[in-house]
């Protein structure tokens, strides 16, 4: 009887062990390197020397790290707010659409979600190209002549805005479809009772929908914070953190330090600080979600 109870755990043990190795080994290796003097020489010949907290002191004492951190927090906040708000609107729309139109919209969302990140980023490069881009052509057609030949990727604010549009476009499908699935679980009788009592659409949303789906909203927000904060390929392909560092977030900053300066120890320290910041934010959010 006892061996039978252990059998399911033995079956999943290889998968759990493999997953733990793939997840934990890079994290532990990065943590170790962040406490060492690890540069190009150590990468080639080995023999890294323990450096204690020197890398972290160097980071935290410099103004550049704090600028990148503030930019990352702003980048994450703007994207997550837009993603959650737009996803909620799309999910509420899906509930009210006719079955055929709902299927078409959901198919479009699924296709947008399935588009590879690099392919989507390249398409956005074409869309916002200065001379032949569709966006500039459309804006000029609408009478905004100031956008004729406008170079989006030469201005930090404009590049930041393009990246926000790209990340939000990539993120909304998952969040919207997840929220739509949650909305379908709410009994229709609750909405009917609220309307009979004279509740407005806004009151119904805040008094019924939000309380019932509170945990789902918290989970989606947590997942989107992770997705946006660690966003790297879109930023690197589109702008490489430029112009003048205007789109450099913590993951891009860590990569640039390791790739350009060959400071693998300092880059690992940035990565570990990113993990710690995300862990603190997410643990507090998940704890609140469990308590509610």
pLDDT tens track for 60-96: 998 999 999 999 999 999 999 999 999 999 999 999 8
Q: Which residue has the higher pLDDT, 282 or 153?
A: 153
Closest CA to 271 of 20, 19, 22, 31: 31
- Report the pLDDT averaged over residues 142-153: 88
Strand ranges for the chain from DSSP E = 36-37, 49-50
Express each pLDDT in 228-238 by its tens digit. 998 999 999 99
Rounded CA separation 63/60 (Å): 8
Please name the residues in contact with 158: beta carbons below 8 A apart, sequence gap of 6 or more. 150, 152
Percent of the chain residues past pLDDT 90, beyond the cut: 48
Q: Is 78 exposed, middle or buried (0-12, 13-18, 19+ CB in 10 A)?
A: middle
Identify the pLDDT of residue 289: 67
Confidence category of residue 7, pLDDT binned at 50, 70, 90? confident
Model confidence at 1: pLDDT above 50: no
DSSP string covering 115-178:
S-HHHHHHHHHHHT-TTT-HHHHHHHHTT-GGGTT--GGGSHHHHHHHHHHHHHHHHHHHHHHH
* Weakest mean pLDDT among 76-85, 140-149, 193-202, 283-292: 283-292
């Amino acid at each position: 009887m006892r061996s039978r109870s252990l059998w399911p755990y033995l079956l999943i043990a290889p998968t759990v062990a493999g997953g733990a190795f793939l997840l934990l080994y890079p994290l532990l290796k990065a943590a170790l390197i962040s406490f060492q003097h690890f540069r190009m020489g150590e990468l080639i010949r080995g023999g890294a020397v323990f450096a204690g907290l020197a890398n972290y002191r160097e980071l935290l004492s410099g103004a550049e790290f704090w600028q990148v951190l503030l930019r990352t927090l702003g980048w994450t906040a703007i994207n997550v707010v837009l993603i959650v708000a737009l996803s909620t609107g799309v999910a509420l729309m899906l509930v009210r659409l006719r079955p055929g139109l709902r299927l078409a919209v959901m198919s479009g969302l699924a296709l947008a979600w399935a588009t590879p990140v690099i392919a989507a980023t390249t398409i956005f490069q074409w869309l916002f190209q200065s001379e032949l881009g569709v966006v500039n052509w459309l804006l000029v057609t609408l009478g905004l002549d100031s956008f004729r030949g406008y170079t989006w990727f030469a201005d930090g604010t404009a590049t930041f805005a393009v990246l926000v549009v790209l990340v939000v476009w990539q993120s909304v499908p998952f969040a919207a479809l997840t929220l739509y699935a949650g909305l379908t679980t709410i009994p229709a009788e609750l909405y009917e009772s609220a309307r009979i009592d004279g509740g407005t659409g806004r009151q119904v949303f805040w008094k019924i929908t939000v309380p019932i789906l509170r945990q789902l909203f918290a989970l989606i927000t947590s997942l989107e914070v992770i997705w946006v904060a660690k966003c790297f390929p879109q930023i690197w392909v589109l702008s490489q953190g430029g112009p003048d560092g205007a789109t450099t977030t913590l993951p891009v900053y860590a990569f640039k330090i390791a790739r350009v300066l060959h400071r693998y120890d300092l880059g690992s320290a940035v990565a570990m600080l990113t993990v710690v910041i995300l862990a603190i934010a997410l643990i507090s959010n998940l704890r609140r979600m469990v308590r509610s």
